[in-house]
Amino acid sequence: MMNAKPMIIAIASTIILAVAALPDSALAKSDMSDGAAIKIAAVKIHKGVGTVKKIKKRSGKIRLDHGPIKSIGWMGMVMTFDVENKKLLKGVKVGDKVSFGFYATDDGRHVITEIKRLK
Protein backbone atom coordinates (compact mmCIF):
# COMPACT_ATOMS: atom_id res chain seq x y z
CA MET A 1 0.00 0.00 0.00
CA MET A 2 1.32 3.42 -0.96
CA ASN A 3 2.11 5.97 1.79
CA ALA A 4 -0.20 8.99 1.32
CA LYS A 5 1.72 11.28 3.70
CA PRO A 6 4.27 12.57 1.10
CA MET A 7 1.42 13.29 -1.34
CA ILE A 8 -0.56 15.24 1.30
CA ILE A 9 2.54 17.24 2.24
CA ALA A 10 3.21 18.06 -1.42
CA ILE A 11 -0.38 19.22 -2.01
CA ALA A 12 -0.43 21.33 1.17
CA SER A 13 2.91 22.92 0.27
CA THR A 14 1.63 23.80 -3.20
CA ILE A 15 -1.48 25.46 -1.77
CA ILE A 16 0.55 27.46 0.77
CA LEU A 17 2.96 28.66 -1.92
CA ALA A 18 0.08 29.62 -4.24
CA VAL A 19 -1.63 31.70 -1.53
CA ALA A 20 1.67 33.31 -0.50
CA ALA A 21 2.24 34.39 -4.11
CA LEU A 22 -1.06 36.31 -4.30
CA PRO A 23 -0.78 40.12 -4.18
CA ASP A 24 -2.05 41.79 -1.00
CA SER A 25 -5.03 43.19 -2.90
CA ALA A 26 -6.22 39.64 -3.59
CA LEU A 27 -6.44 38.70 0.06
CA ALA A 28 -9.48 39.54 2.16
CA LYS A 29 -9.13 39.37 5.92
CA SER A 30 -11.96 39.05 8.38
CA ASP A 31 -12.42 41.42 11.31
CA MET A 32 -10.19 40.11 14.12
CA SER A 33 -11.98 42.09 16.88
CA ASP A 34 -14.00 39.04 17.91
CA GLY A 35 -10.99 36.72 17.90
CA ALA A 36 -12.01 35.10 14.61
CA ALA A 37 -9.37 33.46 12.47
CA ILE A 38 -8.13 35.18 9.33
CA LYS A 39 -10.29 34.36 6.31
CA ILE A 40 -8.26 34.25 3.12
CA ALA A 41 -10.04 34.39 -0.21
CA ALA A 42 -9.11 35.60 -3.65
CA VAL A 43 -11.17 38.65 -4.59
CA LYS A 44 -11.41 40.68 -7.77
CA ILE A 45 -10.53 44.35 -7.25
CA HIS A 46 -12.45 46.58 -9.66
CA LYS A 47 -11.22 50.10 -10.51
CA GLY A 48 -13.28 53.20 -11.11
CA VAL A 49 -13.24 56.99 -11.28
CA GLY A 50 -15.94 59.21 -9.86
CA THR A 51 -16.97 62.32 -7.94
CA VAL A 52 -17.67 62.26 -4.21
CA LYS A 53 -21.32 63.14 -3.49
CA LYS A 54 -21.56 62.33 0.22
CA ILE A 55 -19.33 60.98 3.01
CA LYS A 56 -20.48 59.28 6.22
CA LYS A 57 -17.22 58.96 8.15
CA ARG A 58 -18.81 57.40 11.26
CA SER A 59 -20.43 54.55 9.38
CA GLY A 60 -17.61 54.24 6.83
CA LYS A 61 -19.68 54.92 3.72
CA ILE A 62 -19.11 57.09 0.67
CA ARG A 63 -21.52 58.00 -2.14
CA LEU A 64 -19.91 58.31 -5.56
CA ASP A 65 -21.11 59.38 -9.00
CA HIS A 66 -18.87 57.05 -11.01
CA GLY A 67 -18.31 56.36 -14.65
CA PRO A 68 -18.64 52.94 -16.32
CA ILE A 69 -16.74 50.06 -14.70
CA LYS A 70 -16.28 47.41 -17.38
CA SER A 71 -14.72 44.76 -15.11
CA ILE A 72 -18.02 44.37 -13.25
CA GLY A 73 -20.31 45.26 -16.17
CA TRP A 74 -21.64 48.54 -14.77
CA MET A 75 -22.65 51.69 -16.58
CA GLY A 76 -22.03 55.02 -14.85
CA MET A 77 -24.26 55.65 -11.82
CA VAL A 78 -24.50 57.18 -8.36
CA MET A 79 -24.15 54.65 -5.55
CA THR A 80 -23.00 54.23 -1.97
CA PHE A 81 -19.97 52.07 -1.15
CA ASP A 82 -18.79 50.71 2.17
CA VAL A 83 -15.20 51.61 3.02
CA GLU A 84 -12.90 48.83 4.23
CA ASN A 85 -10.98 51.18 6.54
CA LYS A 86 -12.43 54.53 7.65
CA LYS A 87 -8.91 56.02 7.49
CA LEU A 88 -9.25 55.90 3.70
CA LEU A 89 -11.77 58.77 3.96
CA LYS A 90 -9.24 61.12 5.55
CA GLY A 91 -8.46 63.97 3.17
CA VAL A 92 -11.37 63.18 0.84
CA LYS A 93 -14.24 65.66 0.64
CA VAL A 94 -17.51 66.15 -1.20
CA GLY A 95 -16.86 67.38 -4.74
CA ASP A 96 -13.45 65.67 -5.08
CA LYS A 97 -12.80 63.64 -8.20
CA VAL A 98 -11.31 60.29 -7.11
CA SER A 99 -10.00 57.02 -8.43
CA PHE A 100 -10.94 54.00 -6.34
CA GLY A 101 -10.68 50.24 -6.08
CA PHE A 102 -13.34 47.97 -4.60
CA TYR A 103 -14.53 44.40 -4.35
CA ALA A 104 -18.02 42.89 -4.31
CA THR A 105 -19.04 40.69 -1.38
CA ASP A 106 -21.22 37.58 -1.47
CA ASP A 107 -23.98 39.50 0.34
CA GLY A 108 -24.16 42.24 -2.33
CA ARG A 109 -22.06 44.96 -0.70
CA HIS A 110 -19.32 46.85 -2.56
CA VAL A 111 -16.31 47.66 -0.41
CA ILE A 112 -13.70 50.28 -1.27
CA THR A 113 -10.13 49.19 -0.53
CA GLU A 114 -8.37 52.21 -1.96
CA ILE A 115 -9.29 55.76 -2.87
CA LYS A 116 -7.15 58.60 -4.20
CA ARG A 117 -7.98 62.23 -4.96
CA LEU A 118 -7.30 63.21 -8.56
CA LYS A 119 -5.92 66.60 -9.46
What pLDDT is attached to residue 30? Answer: 45
Domain regions of the chain by residue span = 46-117
Query: By C-alpha distance, which of 25, 108, 97 is closest to 67?
Result: 97
Amino acid letter, residue 69: I
Which DSSP helix (H) or strand (E) runs through 114?
strand 110-117
H or E stretch covering 13: helix 5-20
Tell me, what's the pLDDT at 16? 61
Fold of 46-117: OB fold (Dihydrolipoamide Acetyltransferase, E2P) (2.40.50)
pTM score above 0.85: no
The tens place of each residue's pLDDT in the chain, 119 residues long, gives: 556 666 666 665 556 655 555 555 555 544 445 544 555 557 899 999 999 999 999 999 999 999 999 999 999 999 999 999 999 999 999 999 999 999 999 999 999 999 999 98
How much is the pLDDT for 33?
52
Q: Which pLDDT belongs to residue 43?
A: 80
pLDDT value at residue 41: 59
